[in-house]
Amino acid sequence: MELSLFPRDLFAELDRLQRQVQRAFEFSPSIRGFARGGFSALNIASTPQSVEIYGFAPGLEPKSIEVQLERGVLSIAGERSPALPDERERATVHMNERFAGRFHRVITLSDDLDPNEVRAAYREGVLHISIKRLESAQPRRISVN
C-alpha cells in the first residue's frame, strides 16, 4: 500500500482500507465484478414510468462517454486522463486518489424498459440516464363499470 506523508491522507487511507475490506468480504459479488467502489459510482432509482440511473463520473468529455443498452443490459464506458504531471517535470505528487484510465460498468436492468425511450445527459460530472418503461408495463387504472 502506498503511504504519503501528507497529513490529511490518513482519512483517504482509511477510506481505501474500508473499501478493500468491503470488497474482500462482500457476500455475493455480481458476476461482472464487484458491485461497489468502482468508477463511476452508480445510483439507480425507479419511478412507475421510468428507471433513472446516475453515474458519478466527473472530468469526462461528454462526447467520449459510451452508453449502450442491449437486451436490458446497460453499459457505461469511457476514459479519464490522469491529472498528474509527466515524469520529466519538476513536480511532486503528494496525493493521488483520483481514478484515471478506462472504466466500464455494466448493469442489468429489468426487462420492461423501452430501448427507444432513453435519454442521457451529462451535467456537472454526473451522467443521468433515464429509460422509460414500456407502455404495456405501466400500471393502469382499470375503470369498473
Which positions touch another protein (CB under 8 A)? 6-8, 11-12, 15, 36-37, 40-48, 50, 52, 54, 56-62, 83-85, 89-99, 107, 122-126, 128, 130
Q: How far is the CB of 67 from another protein (least distance, A)?
A: 16
Q: From residue 140, how far is each of 22, 47, 62, 143 by CA, in Å?
A: 42, 14, 37, 9
How far is 9 from 93, CA to CA, in rounded Å?
A: 12
How far is 39 from 57, CA to CA, in rounded Å?
A: 7
**Which of 11/27 has CB closer to another protein?**
11
Q: How far is the CB of 109 from another protein (least distance, A)?
A: 10
109 near 142, Cβ under 8 Å? no
**Which of 68/96 has CB closer to another protein?**
96
